[in-house]
Chain A
Amino acid sequence: MDALARQCPGKSLNFKKPILRILVIDDDECVGAAIQAILARGRHETTLALRACDGIKALQSPGFDAAVVDLFLPGMSGLDTIAHIRQRSAIPIVAMSGFRLRNPSNAIDYVSMAMQRGASTFIRKPFASQQLLEAIDRSVNCASSIGGSTQ
């Protein structure tokens, strides 16, 4: 909860936090807008894409620091989107989904499927702002410690 407060108004800690450019791919416009509002509190810039193809197109321009991708999208699915992005870029990817149907015996879940395709981390909807900010931090830190070039 206090992660947001920490980053909120122009107080001391803010100087150390880099401003990130984040692409959000989610077909629910209201969720995208809420994420954008929260990230703006952390002084991050957000670009919204309602469809996978728009998101992929947006990523062709350089400068994004991370992508937040919903798994269930119309058209190209979030899993395919993650695989597609990962083949072309090392950009940190936060996968998110609220769909909970799972297989009791084989333990198939969408979390592990997203991670297999190259997601850096996963958050379950609904999430609090702190969880979102931590997930983005985690994926960005992880990517920069691995190899650097996240363009």
Chain B
Amino acid sequence: MTRRKTDDAQADEYEIGHPSAERARAMNEVAAAISHQLNGPLTALLLYVGDLSQNSDRFPAADGTGQSLKQVADNALREAERICALLLRIGDALEAPLQEQTAMTHGREVIAWWSRVGNADGAGSEVQAARAACEPLTPREREVLQLIIEGCSNKEGAARMQISHRTFECHRAEVMRKFAAKNAADLIRLSLLIPKSPSSSLWRDTQ
């Protein structure tokens, strides 16, 4: 929370519309969690395809199909390696201000969050809840949400909207409640997963 405040103070010194540190961090966290989840299946795939390719000389060769099967296995390995190389490059770009003491718990939290939200089996129930919550947001609440996403503190958000500190806090609490978000980071991550389509009522007024 204290870090958020200093980030907010810095963000306001720069131009408005500059993606805030908080938002950039949330984006990196979401990307890291997604690529982490890709790592498991890709590891298994690479091992299996590598094994197929290594043993492809044992494919039946009687009618010439052995040779083409071998080629297919080799091609499959090459494609799997290409995807892995891509994932490594994505991973290289993911940075976040982690402290040594909190790096592990932070990583675990992000991974757990994504497996709750983004798992194919769960069909992203939290995202659906967030999407459902879009409709009842009042225009004021949408404005507050946008300011939170930009990294504003309560005080700065209130100043920007020219409303009282107290009123801003009320709107904020209401947005958090509607999104069922536990904290600001949760809210920002959830908002990243909601498509910014023109039909989405959440973004229509703010974009």
- A contact residues vs B (CB 8 Å cutoff): 1, 4-5, 8, 28, 30-31, 33-35, 37-38, 41, 71-72, 74, 77, 79, 98-106, 108, 110, 113, 124-130, 132
Contacts and interface: CB of A to CB of B under 8 A. Distances in A.
A151 B50 CA distance: 32
* Secondary structure dominating the interface of B: helix
Given A98-B35, A100-B35, A108 B42 contact: no
Interface size for chain B: under 10, 10 to 19, 20 to 34, or 35 or more residues? 35 or more
Contact of A100 (B48, B91, B103): B91
B86 to A, nearest CB: 11
B48 to A, nearest CB: 6
Given A125-B42, A126-B43, A100 B36 contact: yes
Contact of A8 (B39, B55, B84, B104): B55
A110 B51 contact: no
A125 B48 contact: no
A74 to B, nearest CB: 8
Contacts of B103: 103, 108, 110, 113
Contacts of A1: 50, 53-54
The 9 closest A-B pairs by CB, nearest first: A98-B39, A100-B91, A34-B44, A101-B32, A126-B43, A28-B40, A126-B42, A34-B47, A125-B39
7 contacts: A28-B44, A30-B40, A34-B48, A35-B47, A77-B108, A126-B84, A129-B47
Contacts of B98: 101-103, 106, 108
Contacts of A31: 40, 43-44
Given A98-B36, A101-B110, A124-B88, A33 B95 contact: no
Contact of A37 (B42, B51, B91, B106): B51
Contacts of A125: 39-40, 42-43
B32 to A, nearest CB: 4
A126 B39 CA distance: 6
